[in-house]
Amino acid sequence: MTTLIETEIREIEKNLKEMIDLVLSMHRDAKKALETNDTKLAIQIIKRDEQVNNLDELINESVLSFLATQAPVARDLRSAIAMIRVANDVERIGDYAKTISEFIILTKPLYEPFKLYINDMFDDFMKMFQMATSLFFKPVLEESYTIAAQDQFIDAKLKKAFHEIPKVVNTTNVMSLLDTFNIIRTLERAGDHTKNICEAVIFKLKGKKIDLG
């Protein structure tokens, strides 16, 4: 027999899954829109960000109500708190898709040599995001560390791109260079927030706040 606590947790999880799927679709479309300079698609992505924000608020309100009325303990308490943490990180990751979309709408030119970094970082991030968010609902402690470690590949591409800036700053459009590098920084931050989701998995399982760096 399903208890009231289990029912409420499942409802919050349902909203969190919807939020995750929405943000993943935003980033998939952001990558496509960036490749094709599709401003109409970029506008659609920005509109979806409001749905993400609404879901974030709903999850926060639902968890606070759950904590106040059900007084959960142990596993259920950890799950509820962890869902607030994940929703916050997912909301920020959605913001990054919006930021990239705004770049597209302003029709700023991409610095061509950085395109490969952007494509690779998109792929690395989205793979990591899918794995981390799936793990949250079926947590395995060891996998949380393995997935979090994938952020190093995103960081490595950021560093390579950064080291190229001094070599070309006097021979190219500086604003194009800096604007494109900001997209790379945005994807790096998305990786950091995905790593935070792995930390939430550990908290959900162990009740310990771990900083994975």
Q: Which domain holds residue 57?
A: 4-206
Which pLDDT score is estimated for 168?
A: 75
Is 170 inside any structural domain? yes
Is 194 inside any structural domain? yes
3-state secondary structure of 138: coil
**Total number of domains constituting the chain:** 1
CATH of the domain at 132: 1.20.58.220
Residue 36 scores a pLDDT above 80? yes
Considering only residues 157 and 109, tell me which one the structure prediction assigns the higher pLDDT. 157
Name the DSSP letter for residue 172.
S
Is 186 inside any structural domain? yes
> What's the length of the chain?
213
Task: Give the pair of three-digit tokens for residue 176.
Answer: 């194009």
Distances (CA, A) of 91 to 49, 120, 167, 171, 202: 8, 22, 36, 38, 20
Mean pLDDT of 78-94: 97
The overall average pLDDT reported for the chain is 93
* pTM for the full predicted model: 0.94
To the nearest 10 degrees (0 to 180), the angle between helices 174-206 and 141-149 is 170
CA distance 6 to 104: 43
